[in-house]
């Protein structure tokens, strides 16, 4: 069974004001951290979706990963999901884990737990919702490829199985989030 990781890294980072995937945290960029976590979870292949100019922001970080430029990144997250899932489908995987590069508390164990039942959609439960990272079997790819706009896979995850991890509420959207993440990592 081959389960791909699709790392969504094409967002505009409007609230942060600079590309979050290139932020340094604990000696690595947020993208390098996401790549390492996916590798340690034995997800393969790893697909990184960036905006049309994004390869410059990740230069050197995505070694051993397929980097896909999302020409429609301005549409929102659904276009990045489509790009990554289309690539995963072409690679013949049995499923994919959709993840972002800004959930700094994400662990390889959590990613492995998402794939516990390879036949069912399984999301991450935190802050009273089910979101990404989330696992989608290949049977759900047509629904992912039909997504539009900036809502992501929210509807597909409604009522889905889940793995709880409240630490995933810490994601990097603002400078305050980044400062909080740095303090957290310095204590561990």
Beta strands in 28-160 (DSSP E): 28-29, 46-50, 66-69, 95-100, 122-126, 129-137
Task: Say how far apart CA 140 and CA 43 lie, in whole Å.
Answer: 18
The count of domains in the chain is 1
Q: Helix, strand, or coil here: 162?
A: strand
Task: Say how far apart CA 115 and CA 112 lie, in whole Å.
Answer: 5
Range of the domain at 117: 3-187
- Of residues 1, 29, 23, 6, the one with CA closest to residue 111: 6
Cα torsion for 188, 16, 87, 117, to the nearest 10°? 40
Residue for token pair 């699709």: 6
| Six token digits for residue 74 | 């301005």
pLDDT tens digit at each of 188 positions of the chain: 799 999 998 766 666 655 677 777 788 888 888 999 999 999 999 999 988 776 555 555 556 578 888 888 888 899 999 999 999 999 999 999 999 988 999 999 999 999 999 999 999 999 999 999 999 999 999 999 999 988 889 999 999 999 999 999 888 877 787 888 888 776 65
| Six token digits for residue 86 | 């289309």
29: which residues sit within 8 A by CB, 6+ positions away? Answer: 21, 22, 23, 58, 61
The pLDDT value given to residue 66 = 84
- Of residues 3, 91, 101, 1, the one with CA closest to residue 48: 101
Task: Tell me the pTM.
Answer: 0.89
| DSSP H or E run through 7 | strand 3-9
Task: Say how far apart CA 61 and CA 27 lie, in whole Å.
Answer: 12
Q: What is the CATH number of the domain that holds 128?
A: 3.90.550.10
């Amino acid at each position: 069974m081959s389960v791909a990781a699709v790392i969504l890294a094409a967002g505009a980072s409007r609230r942060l004001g600079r590309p979050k995937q290139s932020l340094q945290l604990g000696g690595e960029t947020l993208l390098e951290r996401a790549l390492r976590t996916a590798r340690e979870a034995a997800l393969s292949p790893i697909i990184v979706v960036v905006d049309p100019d994004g390869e410059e922001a990740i230069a050197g970080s995505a070694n051993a990963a397929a980097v896909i430029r999302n020409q429609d990144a301005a549409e929102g997250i659904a276009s990045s999901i489509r790009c990554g899932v289309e690539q995963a489908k072409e690679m013949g995987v049995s499923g994919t884990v959709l993840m972002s590069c800004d959930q700094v508390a994400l662990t390889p164990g959590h990613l492995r737990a998402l794939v516990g039942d390879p036949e069912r959609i399984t999301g991450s439960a935190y802050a009273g919702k089910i979101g990404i990272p989330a696992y989608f079997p290949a049977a759900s790819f047509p629904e992912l490829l039909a997504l539009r706009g900036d809502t992501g896979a929210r509807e597909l995850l409604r009522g889905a199985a889940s793995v709880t991890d409240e630490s995933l509420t810490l994601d990097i959207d603002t400078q305050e989030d980044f400062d909080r993440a740095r303090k957290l990592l310095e204590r561990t």
